[in-house]
Chains A and B, each alone.
Chain A
Amino acid sequence: MAWDSRNETIHSMTRRTAMLLPALALGSHALAQGTGPSDKPQRGGTLSYAVTAEPPTYDLHQTATFAVMHRLSPHYSTLLAYEPGKYPNIIGDLAQSWTISPDLLTYTFKLHPNIKFHDGTALTAEDVRVSYERLRNPPKGVSSFRQPSFTQIKSIETPDALTIVFKMVKVDASIMDTFASPWNSIFSAEKLKADPSYPVKTVMGSGPFKFVEHVAGSHWVGERFNDYFKAGKPYLDGFRAITMTPSAMVNAMAGKQIMAEFRGFTPNERDRIVKALGPDAQTHESPWMLHMLMNFNCEKKPFDDPRVRRAISLALDRWGGSANLSKVSQLGAVGGLVRPGSKWAATEAEMVQWPGYGRDMAANRAEAKRLLKEAGYENLSFTLINRNQQPYITTGVFIIDQLRQIGVKVEDKQVEIAAWYSAQTSGNFEALLDSFTQFSDDPTNVLVKYISTDRAPDVAIQRAIDRELDSLFDRQAEMVDPAERKKLVRQFENRLLDQAYAIPILWWQRIVVMESRVQGWTMSPTHMIYQDLADIWLK
């Protein structure tokens, strides 16, 4: 189906019908990829899009925010990548081909020949090796945000300039996702040797666009890299990422001052933009690999008691929340620890067995009250540290109302992001509303949020130690049989939701709106991939 007819289909929908889009998301996703035979990519033009936050660093290895990814991704390459339109299929990016030994302990990659960095120097296997060494063993003064992902790599060898061999300590079922991670960008070995921190302040990669300028608080500009190793790409002359607030972004989209925003809008914002742009708008929707959760500080009373944590989880009407909050916010599906709809997700029949997921809310609330009484916290009140932006505020209102119904009083303390991060790292919180996103559905990527804090102190902030959970995590990480791995994921979820160190609230729904002339962009369940802009062109 061609773009135009698809857009007409979407625009003829009423708002009520549009609300049903989440259910059709994957279908719309598939349609969004469709490019008719007459739609041959055209070269030229500058893409302008909005990003709602400033990048805290330029170094993709040391951060996890989209504010960095949405600006830096066009400047860098990775070893592998997710295939556009066919997530989660993995294809080569720098790697032209690869082989995997039968015992899954050796991965050999052949790089494309003639890959150049933006400064004209050649990119070789040595650059890949040094970049991965930086990721798994960061030098002093450099942090590697995803260092635990590389623990199973034993050694990295470069038998020749275009070949790189990764040898594993033991089988890692998610290692191909690690190689395809958009965060694992390849830097220049020569420059890293001179300054291991150069990527923090200097943008110099081998991606489709060269860095031009960054004016803090205003914009980020990139221009086409004419020596990009993928022939004919990129199509755009350049891009301009403009920093603006979410409300300004909606108005800028409606007024055609920007062409796109790739993170996501609320249903109402989507409707406002679509109404303003008319046939010049295109929308894409998908369940989002991003979920809202409540972390308890398990070192502090009353949340050192699993009965109290379980009571809180029991009191939340997730099904009712999902059905209604999805109409007014980005909150969407009910799910466990892995994205609903992914191949690892629990079925509804499995979910309703978990505490807080049963559909009989009267029974859930009665059990929650019983647990609180048994634990000696009948008149519980606590402070929830929250962020002062949507949909955190909406989730906070929902939680307060739900807990009020079992007699629990919650003070929703909405703070700036710096104070929110500070509470996380210092442990100075009773309960903290949080969200978690990853670049792939791979269970190792997503379950890491819930393992013992001493295993992943940067992400697992609930300050709990549970070796049973850790053991299940390690076992699934090594399990290559998908069916067996899925069973282990279920066991992990059962254990976590029983102990409730942290509890998922709802998953988000990703809604992307852009001008219909923006072509070649791929919708996915995560806003962290498909952002190198190499395939985008303007109609």
Chain B
Amino acid sequence: MAMLNRVLKNVVLFCRLQPLGALGLLIILVMATCAVFAEQVTFYNPEAVDFGAMLSGPSADHPFGTDSFGRDIFTRIVYGARTALTIGFLSSMIGCHIGAAIGIASAFHGGWIDLLLQRFIDIILSFPIVVLALVVVAVMGKTLVLGIDLNLVFAIAIPIIPRSCRVIRAATLSIRTQPYVDAARAGGYSTVYILLRYIAPNVIAPFLVLLTAYIAQAILLEASLSFLGLGVSEPKPAWGLMLAGDSANFYNEAPWMILFPGLAISLSVFAFNLFGDSLRDWLDPKYRN
């Protein structure tokens, strides 16, 4: 109970000090709620074709209109949030964790291991994030597990790894010279213990910021890959996919086919970026004061 009170107090404080971040968080929570309770939010099936409602404009029955198969766009955006958040969250988690692990190990160990790892990271960083993801997804194809394309998740996660690695390495380099780390070494603690007990907790702030920022990046990347036909396939609802195919063909007759998925992508990226920036300010004592 005391812990819950403390969390609530912190949330209220965060909202008061970081109103924009709070707005971002609110949007994320709304999206997450839609994703989890999609069946309750809308009663249409996102894959159900309705020839009688093809290319209908926004109305009481279809608030965001319908697409060229008569599918309800609001429903597909709500279910699309599930796709975007699942792939975004998983990719960012995998990419940031692997990157952080490599970054901490590289910085803490130093020497030739650091040199070797960082040159490898340099090579991966030389590829633009979209190009790298495109190559990975084209080479790996598709592996569906519980309706999620794991290869797509990895394709998005891989470009995140070097970027996360660099940030966490920089943070680790400044921490490993701290007296308490030297003291732990002198105390005879194992490397793993020092990493987990003293290093990892002190890079958590930049790590959380990275995690939220890269969820936004991952959502954008998933939308881009789906738009290019390399991500999620029809008839699964996904925001990027909704912008591709017939949307481009019918942008004159049915602009809502482009407008609402585009807004959903923009809003989600905006929300995660707002929240990430505010979280950075909130976690950084310099900014907080």
Contact = CB atoms under 8 A, between A and B. Distances in A.
- Bound pair (A, B): yes
Interface string A380-416: 0000000010100110111011101000000111100
B148 interface: no
Interface in B67-84: 68-69
Contact of A324 (B45, B54, B233): B54
A414 B233 contact: yes
A15 B141 CA distance: 39
B235 A412 contact: yes
Contacts of A401: 47-49, 69, 235
A400 B45 CA distance: 12
Interface in A72-130: none
B229 A388 contact: yes
A419 B141 CA distance: 10
B142 interface: yes
B282 interface: no
Given A324-B54, A414-B234, A397 B69 contact: yes
Nearest to B142: A413
B118 to A, nearest CB: 36
B188 to A, nearest CB: 56
Contacts of A266: 249
Interface in B2-49: 45, 47-49
Contacts, number: 59
B250 A388 contact: no
Contact of A269 (B68, B142, B249): B249
Contacts of A269: 249
A402 B51 CA distance: 12
A4 to B, nearest CB: 27
A393 B51 contact: no
A247 interface: yes
21 contacts: A247-B248, A268-B246, A268-B253, A272-B249, A272-B252, A320-B51, A324-B51, A324-B54, A327-B54, A328-B54, A328-B68, A390-B245, A393-B234, A393-B245, A397-B69, A397-B234, A398-B69, A401-B235, A412-B233, A413-B142, A414-B233
Contact size range, B: 20 to 34
A320 B54 CA distance: 13
A269, A393, A414: most-surrounded residue (chain B CB, <10 A) = A393
Contacts of B234: 393, 396-397, 412, 414
A323 B249 contact: no
B45, B49, B54, B233: most-surrounded residue (chain A CB, <10 A) = B49
A334 to B, nearest CB: 14
Contact of B144 (A272, A396, A411, A419): A411
Interface in B139-180: 141-142, 144
A404 B249 contact: no
A397 B49 contact: yes
A15 B249 CA distance: 14
Interface in B48-105: 48-49, 51, 54-55, 68-69
A394 B234 CA distance: 9
Contact size range, A: 20 to 34
Contacts of B144: 411
B246 A328 contact: yes
Interface of B: 45, 47-49, 51, 54-55, 68-69, 141-142, 144, 229, 233-235, 245-246, 248-250, 252-253
Nearest to B250: A268
Contacts of A324: 51, 54
A396 B68 CA distance: 14
Contacts of B68: 328
A328 B247 CA distance: 11
A266 B245 CA distance: 12
Interface in A315-345: 320, 323-324, 327-328
A394 B47 CA distance: 12
Contacts of A393: 233-234, 245
Contacts of A268: 246, 249-250, 253
A514 to B, nearest CB: 19
Contacts of A247: 248
B235 A400 contact: yes
A327 B254 CA distance: 14
Given A393-B245, A413-B142, A388 B233 contact: yes
A323 B248 contact: no
Nearest to B249: A268
A401 B50 CA distance: 9
A398 B49 contact: yes
A396 B245 CA distance: 14
Contacts of B233: 388, 393, 412-414
Nearest to B248: A247
Given A269-B249, A414-B233, 8 more contacts: A272-B249, A324-B54, A393-B233, A393-B234, A396-B234, A398-B69, A401-B47, A414-B234
> Closest 4 interchain pairs by CB?
A324-B51, A401-B49, A268-B249, A328-B68
Nearest to A392: B234
A404 B48 contact: yes
Contacts of A413: 142, 233
